[in-house]
Amino acid sequence: MSLIKKNELKNINVSAIDEKISEFNKELMKLNTQRAVGTAIENPGRIRLLRRTIAKLLTVQNTKSKISEKNTKEAKTK
């Protein structure tokens, strides 16, 4: 199970990635505080899912930024 599907990750733009990362970080922080306080978490597996989804988003963001940097360097050399 995933919060974002692979084909959505390919088509998402950088600004939307930033929004999703901040949204998921807020949710993760909320769940982590519930766990730290000792409150029963409704779905404890969601913490792992959120961490993995954030990592996927960061990977896609890094890949897209490297591709854009490469394209700008090639354009300057031409």
Count of structural domains within the chain: 1
Note the pLDDT of residue 22: 97
How far, rounded to the nearest angstrom, does the alpha carbon of residue 27 sit from its chain's CA centroid? Answer: 12
Note the pLDDT of residue 44: 93
User: Does residue 28 form part of some domain?
Assistant: yes
Contacts 24+ apart (CB under 8 A), 16-22: 17/57, 17/60, 17/61, 17/64, 18/61, 20/57, 21/54, 21/57, 21/58, 21/61
Contact between 13 and 21 under an 8 Å Cβ cutoff? The reply is: no
User: Does residue 35 form part of some domain?
Assistant: yes
Segments forming the whole domain that contains residue 25: 6-77
CATH classification of the domain holding 41: 1.10.287.310
- State pTM to two decimals: 0.87
Note the pLDDT of residue 1: 66
User: Does residue 1 form part of some domain?
Assistant: no
pLDDT below 50 — which residues of the chain? none
User: Does residue 73 form part of some domain?
Assistant: yes
